[in-house]
Amino acid sequence: MMMMMMMMEEEEAVGRRVSCDGHRGTVRYVGLAPPTAGVWLGVEWDHPDRGKHDGSHEGVRYFSCRHPTGGSFVRPKKASFGVDYVTALKRRYEEEPEEPAGDELKISSRTVMMVGFDDVKLKQKVEKLTEVGLRRCEVSGPGPQNEIRNTTPFVQSLDLSGNLLSSWETVATVTEQLESLRELQLSHNRLSISSDPRRLSPAFSRLRVLSLNSCALTWTQVLHCAPMWQQLEELYLADNDITELLRPDHVLQTLRVLDLSNNQILPETVLEISRLPWLEKLNLSGSGLSDVQFSDASAGEKTALFPALKTLLLDDNNISELRSLLHLSCRRNPLLQREKNLETARQILIARLSRLQLLDRRQVEPDERRGAELDYCKRFGLAWLQAGGHIDPEKSHPNTDFLTEHPRFLALIHKYGAPDEGEMREQKPFALKNQLLTVTFVCPEDSGRKPIEKKLPESMIVQKVKGLLHRLLRLPGVELKLSYTCAKMAGREIEIDNDLKPLQFYSVEDGDRILVRWS
């Protein structure tokens, strides 16, 4: 009889979250597992390397797991079902006065500081807290009725990452008592999906920022839950099970930031989220993408998709082509790796993307854009001529292949005029000899010094050129001023005024003369 009562109580544990020896999992089975005696918990672990099997034992299936080694049996006495919010709060902020303060947490687009009790005591009592961090504190529920509302009524930012919350209903019993809550961190949890998410929406009515990284969610599940978050502006979904994107009809329409990084997304489904009207920042880093194309516009035309997008993060993909953006992070992609010289790759991207203001977290200045666009016209001028282009606009008819590859080229020609044929460069395969410039250094204000001819890499920055000149001319400690002349622009002297730019930025070419002055 006693055994039956224990099993009836423990059967209520199915679906609950537990921790054991630092590992978290979900109870999938409660009962006997012969030939051993006594009650066991069958647990599906968040990380399958903690498990031993798929829920089968001695030829009998007791429960199912997503991973073939994701499950194992543990005795109930070895599993912790967690504590309520208020108990965790007291442990975190009252019973651990020696807790060092200063854990930084990236919960949204800003970094907040999670403080320990000593710092809180200096500022205000626990009930005045606006930011609460209960990461990995084994929180499993709200505790006594209205206790959260009475204990921390002013919380605006809450971190419940890596806890033992089992369902969205349980989360709602916590958040409905936090009437000022705007930011919620729920990463590294496994939450069962509500059958009626809209019913829970009042508990998240003021929520603006939600983090659900590493929660084993699919996009379909996200869309199913989305009616709960009617005013959400930032949603973080990195490291989930999102592979195919579907159109978010009537949900997520207020999003400004969406993080889908480290999900293996089918490229052809990316445009399903392109109609989100206010989306300004999209993170698709590490998503296995090979290209980003817009189906509603031809080369050089403006797309109506992603109407508000300003920042796109595409680090660690296989991207080889893009169109237009304001802010772009595109490191470790073939788009940049085509050019062995990273500065050259940067200049090409700037020229191709007319509205780009920030590239890999470096500001695009007006003079850099002008130099990049002029160099782009020279770099691809011969290809333009070969494709049917002509210096006379009435005779210029470049073919479709060229315009697809260089959609801004005609706009740049219209802006700056076509380069002279002598300025156009033949694209050579990468080799060190192809990247060296033969230049002559001349000191026009010191006729006693003979010109010096040197071979320099076109990627050499001006600062290093000046360092070389200090040694060659034996002028330590003086401030050098550089300019250059070339045969193609006779009588014109072009100032080299930025020490951090490479020679190629100023379109210095083989045979040019660099004028050296000092004061």
Does residue 131 or residue 300 have the better pLDDT? 131
Q: Which of 60-64, 344-348, 477-481 has the highest average model confidence (pLDDT)?
A: 60-64
Overall domain count for the chain = 4
pLDDT above 70 coverage of the chain, percent: 81
Which comes out higher in pLDDT, residue 506 or 149?
149
Q: Is residue 136 domain-shared with residue 72, that is, in the same domain?
A: no
Omega within 30 of 0 (cis) for the link into 393: no
One-letter amino acid of 417: G
Start-to-end Cα distance in the chain: 101
CA-CA distance, 186 to 204, in Å (whole number)? 13
78, 101, 117 - which closes a domain: 78
Do 49 and 157 sit in the same domain of this protein?
Answer: no
- Is residue 304 domain-shared with residue 214, that is, in the same domain? yes
Q: Does residue 423 belong to any structural domain of this protein?
A: no
Residue found by looking up tokens 């002008």 in the block? 370
Q: How confident is the model at residue 310, as a pLDDT?
A: 81
pLDDT at residue 335 above 70?
A: no
Give the span between the Cα atoms of 286 and 505, in whole angstroms. 31
**Rounded Cα–Cα distance for residues 210 and 200 (Å):** 15
Q: What is the DSSP letter of 339?
A: S
Residue 413 CB: number of other CB atoms within 10 A? 19
In a domain, 114, yes or no: no
CA 427 to chain centre: 33
Highest mean pLDDT among 200-204, 372-376, 385-389, 423-427: 200-204
Q: Are residues 67 and 153 in the same domain?
A: no
* Domain match, 39 and 141 both: no
Domain edge (last residue) among 21, 43, 78: 78
Do 146 and 193 sit in the same domain of this protein? yes
Report the range of poorest mean pLDDT among 185-189, 311-315, 511-515: 311-315
pLDDT tens digit sequence for 323-334: 444 555 555 555
Q: Is residue 102 part of a domain?
A: no
Helix (H, G, I), strand (E, B) or coil at 384: helix
For residue 457, being part of any structural domain is answered with yes
Domain identity same for 133 and 205 = yes
Confidence (pLDDT) at 369: 86
Residue 75's pLDDT is 93
- How confident is residue 113, by pLDDT bands cut at 50, 70 and 90? very low
Please state, in angstroms and rounded to a whole number, the distance separating the CA atoms of residues 172 and 28: 23
The whole-chain average pLDDT of the chain stands at 83
Residue 340 is predicted with a pLDDT of 54
Fill in the amino acid letter for 47. H
| 44 in a structural domain | yes
- What CA dihedral angle connects 228, 234, 238 and 241, to 10 degrees? 30
CATH number at residue 463: 3.10.20.90
Specify the DSSP element, H or E, that contains 175.
Answer: helix 168-175
226 and 310 in a single domain? The answer is yes
- Report the range of poorest mean pLDDT among 15-24, 100-109, 132-141, 474-483: 100-109
Indicate if the alpha-carbon torsion angle 432, 435, 439, 441 is positive or negative. Answer: negative
Same domain, 387 and 441: no
Predicted pLDDT of residue 9: 54
Band (pLDDT 50/70/90 cuts) for residue 406 is confident
Task: For the sheet with 71-74, list strands across it.
Answer: 17-20, 23-33, 36-45, 71-74
Task: Read off the pTM.
Answer: 0.63
Q: Is residue 142 part of a domain?
A: yes
359 and 371 in a single domain? The answer is no
Q: Which residue has the tokens 């009042």?
A: 202
d(CA 54, CA 347): 53
Which segment of 6-20, 231-245, 248-262, 294-308 scores lowest on mean pLDDT? 294-308
What CATH code is carried by the domain that includes residue 241? 3.80.10.10
Give the residue numbers spanning the domain of 230.
83-93+127-363
CATH number for the domain including 22?
2.30.30.190
Residue count of the chain: 519
**Does residue 337 sit in helix, strand or coil?**
helix
Residue 119 lies in a domain: no
- At 217-226, the pLDDT tens digits run 999 999 999 9
Q: What is the pLDDT of residue 378?
A: 87
286 within 8 A of 316, measured Cβ to Cβ: yes
Q: Give CA–CA dist 191/139, Å, rounded.
A: 13
In a shared domain, residues 72 and 188: no
Q: Which residues, 6 or more positions from 363, have their beta carbon under 8 angstroms from its beta carbon? A: 357
What is d(CA 60, CA 69) in angstroms, rounded to the nearest whole number?
15
Given a cut of 60, is residue 107 above it in pLDDT?
no
Give the pLDDT band of residue 341 (cuts 50, 70, 90): low
User: Residue 117 above 80 pLDDT?
Assistant: no
Do 289 and 308 have their domain in common? yes
Q: Which of 116-120, 314-318, 382-386, 506-510 has the lowest mean pLDDT?
A: 116-120
In a domain, 430, yes or no: no
